[in-house]
Amino acid sequence: MSGGDGLDGALFNRLFALFLIVSLTMLALVLAFLAAAWFRRGGVRQDGVADENGRASREPLLRALLIGWTALIAIGLIGLTFASFLTDRGMADAIPPDRRTINIIVTAKQFWWDVNYAFDNEPSKNIRTANELHLPVGVPARVTLKSSDVIHSFWIPNLAGKQDLIPGRVNDLVLLPNRTGVFRGQCAEFCGIQHAHMALDVTVESRAQFANWLAAQGKPAPAPASPLQKAGYLYVMNRECSGCHAIAGTAANATVGPDLTHLMSRRSLAAGTLPMGRAGLYAWVADPQGVKPGNNMPYVGLDANELHAVTAYLETLK
């Protein structure tokens, strides 16, 4: 069931139950009509001559039933629309305006999630990460949803219902997690060839843990130490990588691809495609199109030494 551990769990479940009851009632009525028609047909004369008396005697009843049926559909649809409107309003009013919230801007791209923590009062604290959300338990998070290419859908089944991300529009959603844990989010609107590999790792943690995470994410990347890491650093800075990726504290500041500043602190690579680790990094950097065909990271064609160096440097980005 959607939204079980989230803010709108109770409201949403009530709406779902209402829809279920109304739909099942209508289904039962349709089946009843069908059964009645079936049995009535058995009584029709088989020689092809219409049973005039039989029809005439039933027509007023049929008309009344049809009028009733149409009215029932109209009333049912209006009622359900009204109920879903009320639920939507209820969800919007669930967070009092003066309550402290965190603001997150999620931009969906083919095929990953660009996540920005926005602090309106202290913009220097803003954090950019990718394919992961960290949320403090019990604190409402206002999520602003955008898309940069096609329509995606933001869905964390444990926390809230689906919400579309539409290019050129801004949608929003409030998440209020009420228990800690690691949940999976997923793009829920077919968005292209790698739609299935567009996952989002959601970590709900205590406020202290969240504050620690936030502080760690705010730090710039460390300088490379070993000669191999330095070689990797130079490659990343001077070649294709920095054309799309940003690493805080270095000259790489492009915004086309995911921010790599704290790459190794994430749970997975390439939006849930590979587990985070040395093996995954090697596979991904060497041939992204082999691991996730159709994604927008190109095959660069690193030779073995370059691959070792770049991976060694990326492993320092904790």
Partner 1 sequence: MRLPKGRTGCLSHPPLSPPCIQGGRLACALFLCLGLTACDREQRSLNGQPKAETIALANDPRDLSYQENSYQLSQGQRLYKWMNCSGCHANGGGGMGPPLMDDEWRYGGRMEDIVRTILHGRPNGMPRFEGKITEQEAWQIASYVRSLSAQQGQDVLSARPDSMSASEPPTLAERGKVLPENNLTGPKDEQN
Chain residues binding partner 1 by CB under 8 A are 41, 44-50, 55, 149, 167-168, 238-240, 242-244, 256, 296, 298-301
> If we measure between CA atoms, which residue out of 204, 199, 205 comes closest to residue 184?
199
Nearer to partner 1, 51 or 88 (CB): 51
Residue 99 — φ and ψ, nearest 5°?
A: -75, 145
Tell me how far, at minimum, the Cβ of 279 lies from partner 1, in Å: 24
Tell me how far, at minimum, the Cβ of 169 lies from partner 1, in Å: 11
Tell me how far, at minimum, the Cβ of 33 lies from partner 1, in Å: 17
Cross-sheet strand order for the sheet of 163-165: 132-136, 199-205, 181-187, 152-155, 163-165
Tell me how far, at minimum, the Cβ of 276 lies from partner 1, in Å: 25
Q: Which helix (H) or strand (E) is 294 found in, with range? A: none
CA distance 204 to 61: 59
Burial class (CB in 10 A: 0-12, 13-18, 19+), 265: middle
Tell me how far, at minimum, the Cβ of 59 lies from partner 1, in Å: 12
User: Which residue intervals of 160-318 are DSSP H helices?
Assistant: 207-217, 227-238, 241-244, 278-286, 288-291, 304-314
Nearer to partner 1, 138 or 301 (CB): 301
Nearer to partner 1, 149 or 315 (CB): 149
Nearer to partner 1, 46 or 121 (CB): 46
Tell me how far, at minimum, the Cβ of 167 lies from partner 1, in Å: 6
Nearer to partner 1, 118 or 151 (CB): 151
Q: How many CB atoms lie within 10 A of CB 171?
A: 16
- Cis ω on the peptide bond leading into residue 190 (within 30° of 0)? no
Task: Give CA angle at 253 (250, 258), nearest 5°.
Answer: 110
Kindly state the DSSP code that residue 199 receives in the 8-state scheme. Answer: E
Nearer to partner 1, 94 or 244 (CB): 244
Bridge partners of 172? Answer: 144
Nearer to partner 1, 149 or 164 (CB): 149
Nearer to partner 1, 41 or 100 (CB): 41
Quick one: CA dihedral 144, 149, 150, 152, positive or negative?
Answer: negative
Residue 258 — φ and ψ, nearest 5°?
A: -65, 150
Tell me how far, at minimum, the Cβ of 257 lies from partner 1, in Å: 9
Tell me how far, at minimum, the Cβ of 164 lies from partner 1, in Å: 16
